[in-house]
Structure formats: structure tokens, C-alpha cells
Amino acid sequence: METNGVSAGKRKHGGSPAPDRPTKHLREESFEIDEDEMMPGEDGSFIVEASRMLPPTAATHDSAEWQRTIESVVRNVVSIRFCQTCSFDTDSAITSEATGFVVDAEKGYILTNRHVVCSGPFSGYCCDVFPVYRDPIHDFGILRFDPKAIKYMPVAALELRPDLAHVGAEIRVVGNDAGEKLSILSGVISRVDRNAPDYGDGYNDFNTNYIQAAASASGGSSGSPVVNVDGYAVALQAGGSTEAATDYFLPLDRPLRALRCIQTGQPVTRGTIQTQWLLKPFDECRRVGLTAEWEAAVRKGFPKEIGMLVAEIVLPEGPAHNHIEEGDILIKLNGELITKFVQLDNILDSSVGQKVKLLVQRGGQDMEVEIEVGNLHDITPDRFVTVCGAAFHDLSYQLARLYAIAVKGVYVCEPAGSFRFDGMDKGWIIESVGNKKCYNLSAFIDIMKSIPDRARVVVTYRHLRDLHTMHTSILYIDRHWSTKMRMAIRNDSTGLWDFSDIGDPLPPVDLVPRSAQFIRLDNVSYSAATDLIRSFVRISCTMPIKLDGFPRARKTGFGLVVDAGLGLVVVSRAVVPYDLCDISITVAESIIVPGKVLFMHPLQNYAVVQYDPKLVDAPVQSAKLSTEHVKQGSPTIFLGFNQNLRVVVAKTSVTDITTVAVPANSSAPRYRAINVDAITVDTSLSGQCGSGVLADEDGTVQALWLTYLGERTHSNKDVEYHLGLATPSLLPVIRQLQAGVIPKLRMLNVELHLVQMSQVRIMGVSDEWIRKVEEDNPERHQLFMVRKVECGYSQTLEEGDVILTINGKVMTRITELDVMYDHDFLDMVVVRNCEEMTLKVPTVPTEDLETDRAVIFCGAVLHRPHHAVRQQISTLHSEIYVSARTRGSPAYQYQLVPTNFIVAVNGVKTQDLTAFLAEVSKIPDNTYFRLRVITFDNIPFVITIKKNEHYFPTMEFIKDPAEPCGWRRQTYEGTSAHAGTQLIPSTAFSTKQILGL
């Protein structure tokens, strides 16, 4: 079971023996709910399939009676593939497998686990199934299906008989063990009085006894019926230990009551006094104060009992607060002697809104208290709100009990967008927004309605695992990419969650000029270089959706101001990977202004962004860029920003200048620099700084110091390289932007690789050419070979070609390739297969390399294969590339994975997004369709996906300079597109305004 982003819970510890109740600090894999979660994925579906009538796989020596029982039982068991469509309460968005069984064939009810039904949204099929009930505490839930939709097989029901579960009873667990559709596991009940197992952080059952047996069930068997030889369901499979063959079964007393209530149309009342009880043996009860008189009375009244109920956790501000204390022994409830959880539940469930009398013993003293019983459903969330890309609901009883805190506060169930906090992913409780307290979800909604788009507000919050620490952050409120604030409310009649818009965003407040001063570096001896502080600004880039295989949703770095009058800033593409984003530029660590992407270089790892200089009253200085290439061994001054965003300066020298060879990311191609020289320097500070410059003593910038995004390691860590880029490469682009022109470059669609003379001799390069190389570049005797030719264009160069000249010039330096940016054709001499050839090689335009259209369909992000894909692949199968997907979505459930290409829908070829949208718009909602897919490694296959427009509407983002954000968003209903959620006009400016025209 997932642990919500944290590894262990800081919860109150009980005093029960370790063999009886697993400690809360065992390794998280020691105990698990039977969930077979697949790889990473957001809103999803629930699929139930009738189990195949396979030959029973019970023990080979089963009696004929057992064989008949099993043959009867398997007809009532269903295999479940399910999705929790978004994170909610203790559950994360997941895709998994489980089991259920029919308990009412006429009305169509299926019993399974609560951790299968989930606390949040999902949808279902086969026939369509919908959640009717999920218990707030106990691990069971009920689904509804239409019996008339079942064809080709009779539907029968298993009778629930909790009274037949006893020690020594032989049982069979019939279910979808380990995803095998049908497995039958045998065992013998060894205990019926076990405390509920503790699976660590996340969902846990409590206030109930569990049944224990050794059946060796595994993931997928959750929700299986535990049957006796007569074919009665005596328990419900719920979980097990991964370190032993032990399985944990939920008694059926409470599921049977809930089923009867639902069958008769009555509400399933659930009472609580917000107290967790544990069954503890008599010897332990004596140690906490049980008197001999009461022990004798209990043993006489219940001779088979081994212990009594002891208060473990009493929640602050709950009904029992100040009435019951931890360690109190429950003697009587409403005058009835209590030793079992079933008795406790019976009385509380029938007393909601009424007062009950409890007799407890505290340190040997009898204490009689009167407590009003609360409604357990009232403290179990049935709604959530989405705003700024994140989701929130009131703190649940489950989470409050886990950390022994009051059931109040706003819980961030899906930290994302503006509310993506640093550190742990889940477990945050919002204390205040904009200096206003968030006591509950209603107060939070009212506060968010009053905050304008693009505002920056102070937010205070705590983490459940560290409630002692108050965190304070300033958040940027995004109400333009995620425009609507939406409320989702659970509807137990339809089984869906109903969405409604609850507040349009307020327009952003007009910005006014602000003044500030830069810091001074008085203790640094290089005054001219330190003046460069006035040329640096901090850049934050927030990406609302994942494109181009980029791994992060937010990046921060520093950029160099190259024209203070126009507000032009150069920054690494590891910080600004694409232009569907929000750019915030901080000047002098004091003034924050919006920015916009003007230009992204396809190869050299930099982008140019712009801010409005009229909003900045500060002595920003345009950096002076060198027109000469820095030399190896030259002295230089390194000025950079370390991981703490602090300035560091050091006198150093250039150690090497060589063509960069950033490794490609094999699992998900993303932007990387190629065909460009990288500079390294002789100082350890260079490895600590992702942004900076190399400058001479008069402050002229010789090179930018940039972060280069590299490959992803096997431990899922993204490698970053810190290298220098010589400024002469920037100057042609900067000059065009200063002149009001967006550069339109051309390039050779190849990746080049350095080769030495010893290699090129073998490849057929003559001695005469080798002498020309030695004369042209005395410092480095090298040529370049075509390592990879990008696909998607007609090819003139071939992989393995050794380039000798470009436009009559011997090419021994990668910077000599820069002539390609301004030429439609290049005259080249190459050596191919030991033969010298003269070629006229066309260049290709670069303006269409960047992603300018994205479709979100069934939770998958689709767009044209971006440049990195074309660099790494040999054949483009289509123009529909899967870039990302969300957890719990149909794309995730049915294994439409990133790097796949979609080539056909329901047998109709779809080579581009327009054709794809035309075909999928014909598919009715809640219907299966076929996709023909080809993997990145050229393996074709067909998958089926069930369309789910309720939780995953089809949306499209189209680049549009006329829009304030530069992109237009539209959603689809049926076969037509409409504006849908509009982007909000903001303080962004048009292209003409940006360029000062």
C-alpha cells in the first residue's frame, strides 16, 4: 500500500505485544494491503470481469464436497481491474487489480474492500459498476451493477455468514490472486480476535477484530470471499504479511449490516466518539488498572474472551475529548458489558446524534461518562475542490487518527500547480492563505475566490509528520492555465463525482513600477567583474503541462541581461525548456515581473526571454558580450550562483574547450545540446553553480555558465552538467532581437561527433587532408563525423560521413558549422565509405521544431514528435507522440505509455493530431475503442482504451501569439470544439510590444 509520500508515521504507539499488533515502524514492505499497483499515473476507471470458468486450482487432495463448493463459488467471484482516478484522502491515484463477489444477484451488489472501492473518484465497467458504499473505517465497500447486462452466464450470490468463522475452520480464498484471474488458496482459521493489521501510513482499518489464517494470498486477492466447505462467505480477504504466509480477513458482521440497509433503502448509519480502541489481553489490562472484581465479572460473563477494549487514541476536540483518556479500559456501554468490537459498533451505529453512557476504568478507578455520538460520515470527506492545479478537502478522520490530531483543517490531497510544495509530495495541511486562516474547506474556497490571478500570496502550512514546524512560502496563483475553481461531490446514486464551477477568477492586478538596489560585493578584488551582479536576474519557469519529455513542472535559475533597455535576458534551456509556461523574473532579488519567451535555440542550450523594463526602477546593466572566442588556458574570472542562490567569485583559467557530448536520455527523449563547444574551468565552484558567467578583468563576458540537462540514471535521478558557452555564438541572435526580428535559423539535421586523425586515416581520409587539418588547427587535430541523421527530412548526409569542408573551409572546429544558420544550402566535401564526395546539402528551417500544439486525451499528453525524438529515432511512425500521462487515467490503466506513437484509431490511420481528433470525436463516451500503437523500438501492437470524458475531457492547447499567454485552450464535447476554460488576459504583452516596435 502506498504511504502517501512519507516512509513512516509519527503516530501514537500502543502497548500491545509485537506478535499481536505490528509495530508502526516496521519496514513499509512488511505489511501491505493486497494491491498490485502498476507503474506511475490521475482520474481513472474501474473494470470488473466475470472470472473465467477455469478448472478449480484448489489443493489436489480436496474432497468431492470441496470440489462442488468451489465450482459453485467461482461463478459468483469477479476479477477487478480498478483505478483511483485522483489522489484523495489516504489514497493515491493508482491502477491495480483485486477481487469482489456477488452478494445480491437480483439487485446487483458486489462486496469488495474499501481500499479497492477507494475513497475518491473512479468509474467502472463490465457491466458498468458503480460504488454504492465505502465504509469510513472498515475495509469493505459495495458496488452496484445491472444484472440484466450480464450475458452468457447465470449470476448467483454468496450468502454472508459471519457466525461461521471460528478457530479451526477450514477455508478457501477464491480470488484474483497476483492478477491470475482465478486462484483458490486453502487455509485454516487460526485466530478470530486479532487487532486490525497496521500497514503503515495511509489507509488502515481499526476498531474491529480481524480473522487470521495462513493462505499465502498476494496482490490481487483483496476482496476475495473466504468460504467454508458449505459455500458460505465467512470473511473478506483484506491484506497480509509479505514476510510470512499470514493473511488477514475482515469479519462480515458490519458488511452484512450495511448490505441489509442498502437492500432496504435505509441509510448506513455509522456512529463515532473519535476514539480508537485496541483489544488487549487481561494481563496487560491489569497493568493499566483493571481491577480483579471487573476481570472476574468479565471472565464469568464471557468465558472465551482473552481481553478487553482499551482506549488507544482519543482525538482532541472530539466527542470523547476530556471524557476518555488513553489507557482507559471500556467496561460497559449503555449498561451493557463490552468485550467485542461488534457490540461497540452496534450501539454507536444506532445512537448517532444521541448520548451514550460509558463505564471505564482509569488506574483502578471506575469512571462513568456521558458522550454524544457523532456521525462518522460527517468527518469522512465526500467532496474536494480543485484550484490552481491542486486539489483540497477537509482533513479526514482517517488522517486525523493516524497522527492523533483534531479532525479539522484543509488537506492538500493533490499538491500540484501553484501548491506544489518543496519536499514531500503529500501530507500538507494549509493553515492560512494571504494571512487569512483556513479553518475548513469552505473558508479556503472563500479566500481563493478573493485572490486575483497572478497574485503572490503568503501561505503557511504544516506537514502531518512534523506538526511542530510551520512552513511559510510565497505562492504564485495560477488562474489562467487552470481557470476554473471546481467542486467535486460524491454522488452515491450515480456512482460518479459531480463537478461544478464555483468561482470565476478575478483578473490580475495591474503592475506598477518598483525600485530596488543590487547587492555589493565589497570584499571581492575584481570590481569590474562584480559589477556584473547588476546584469543577473533570477528566472522561475512554471510549466502547467508536461511537454517534450521534460521531467519537471517548475525550474529556477539565473539569466544574464543582454539588453536592459529592451529587457532581454539569456537563460539556459534547462530552466526554460518550452514556451507553454509562466515566466517570473526577479530583479535585484526584490522586484518580480512577468516575462515571456522570445526565442529558443534548437541546439545551443539557451533561450531568450523578456520582461517589461518600464516596471523596473533599478540600475540594471546590460552585460558586455565578447566578440572573440576565449582560448584554452586563458585566465578568466568565474562568477556564479551556487545552490543557495548566493554569488561566488573566483579567479581561474579555461581548462578545456571541446564539443559537448551530452548523453541522450533513452527512456524519454528530451532537449539536449548538440553541435556546440562547451567550456570547462579550473575551479571546484564550477560544479556547484548552475548559472553564471566567465568574464575578463574589465567585466566583458567571455562565456555564459549554463546548466545542461542530461540523461536519467537507473535511480531516476536527472543528471545535470554545468558548462560554459562562448558569447560569440549568441551575438547574431541577440542583434536580430534588438532589431525587432525574431531569428529564423536553418540547420543541418545531423549530430556530429569528434574523430581523431588516427581514426579518419582508417576511414579513408587522405594524408593531404590530414596535413590541411594540421595546418588549419595546430591546437587540435580533429575532424567531425556524422553520428546521427535526424529523421523526418530527406537525407543527403549519411551516418558515418566524415566532413572535410563546409563552403570551401576546412572544418576542424564545431563553431565553423554556425554558417548553416544563414544558408539554404551548404557545399560540403565528405568522405563516405573511403571515398571523397562533393555534396550540396540543404539545411532545414528550425521555426517548426518547437512544440506548438498539444492534445490531452484520456489522460495522455499527445503532440508532434519533438526535436529530441527526431534526433534519436530512425523512423517517425506518425505525428502523434505520447509525451506524458497522468496516474489513474485510462491511458495509464491500459498501458498507453510515453514514447509510444499512435498510428490508427479503430482501424483508421491517423498520421497527425487533426486526423486523430476527428476519429476519437466519433467515439461515444464510456466506450471501448482500439488504438494501433508503435513503440519507440518499432514494435507494433494494439490496445483497447475506454473513453472517459467525465473525469478526462479532451483538451487542446494551440500556440497563438494573439492570446495573452501565447496559447489558446479549447475543450471538446461530442464532435465539436469550444473555447471551454478560457485563458485570462494578463499583464503579458504582445510580440510587437516585446520587441519595442
How is residue 243 written as a grid cell?
Answer: 514476510
Cα(571)–Cα(598) distance, rounded to whole angstroms? 11
> Of 356, 345, 338, which Cα lies nearest the Cα of 298?
338
Which residue blocks in 302-410 are alpha helix, DSSP H?
Answer: 341-349, 397-403
How is residue 498 written as a grid cell?
Answer: 459531480
Residue 920 sits at φ, ψ, to 5 deg, of -70, -25
Cα(403)–Cα(401) distance, rounded to whole angstroms? 5
Find out whether 352 and 390 touch, Cβ atoms under 8 Å. no
Cα(701)–Cα(703) distance, rounded to whole angstroms? 6
Which residue among 91, 139, 177, 198 is the active-site one? 139
Clarify whether 221 is annotated catalytic. yes
Which residue among 221, 584, 883, 889 is the active-site one? 221
Find out whether 462 and 479 touch, Cβ atoms under 8 Å. no
CA distances, 42 to each of 194, 342, 791 (Å): 35, 37, 33
Residue 619 sits at φ, ψ, to 5 deg, of -75, 60
Cα(297)–Cα(442) distance, rounded to whole angstroms? 50
How is residue 76 written as a grid cell?
Answer: 459468483
Cα(725)–Cα(703) distance, rounded to whole angstroms? 5
Q: Which residues, at least 6 apart from 684, have a Cβ–Cβ distance to it below 8 Å? A: none
Helix (H) / strand (E) containing 647:
strand 647-659
Cα(220)–Cα(116) distance, rounded to whole angstroms? 10
Strands (DSSP E) contained in 781-859 are 782-789, 802-806, 809-810, 825-832, 835-842, 844-845, 853-857
Instruction: Give Cα 635 to chain centroid, integer Å.
Output: 46
Say which amino acid occupies 888.
G
Radius of gyration of the chain (CA): 33
Say which amino acid occupies 296.
A
Buried b (16+ CB within 10 A) or exposed e, 413-437: bbbbbbbbbeebbbbbbbbbbbeee
Cα(627)–Cα(236) distance, rounded to whole angstroms? 76
Cα(85)–Cα(707) distance, rounded to whole angstroms? 36
Strands 844-845 and 835-842 come out as: unpaired
Q: How many CB atoms lie within 10 A of CB 383?
A: 14
Cα(639)–Cα(649) distance, rounded to whole angstroms? 5
> Of 115, 140, 117, 214, which Cα lies nearest the Cα of 173?
214
Buried b (16+ CB within 10 A) or exposed e, 323-362: bbebbbbbbebeeebbbbbbebbbbbbebbeeebebbbbb
Clarify whether 13 is annotated catalytic. no
Q: How many CB atoms lie within 10 A of CB 684?
A: 9
CA distances, 216 to each of 35, 168, 197, 220 (Å): 14, 17, 16, 12
Q: Quick one: CA dihedral 525, 529, 531, 535, positive or negative? A: negative
Q: What is the longest distance spanned by two Cα atoms in the chain?
A: 110
Helix (H) / strand (E) containing 914:
helix 913-920
How is residue 269 written as a grid cell?
Answer: 448509519
Helix (H) / strand (E) containing 253:
helix 253-263
Say which amino acid occupies 845.
P
Find out whether 738 and 563 touch, Cβ atoms under 8 Å. yes
Which residue among 79, 115, 247, 863 is the active-site one? 115
- Which residues are identified as catalytic? 115, 139, 221
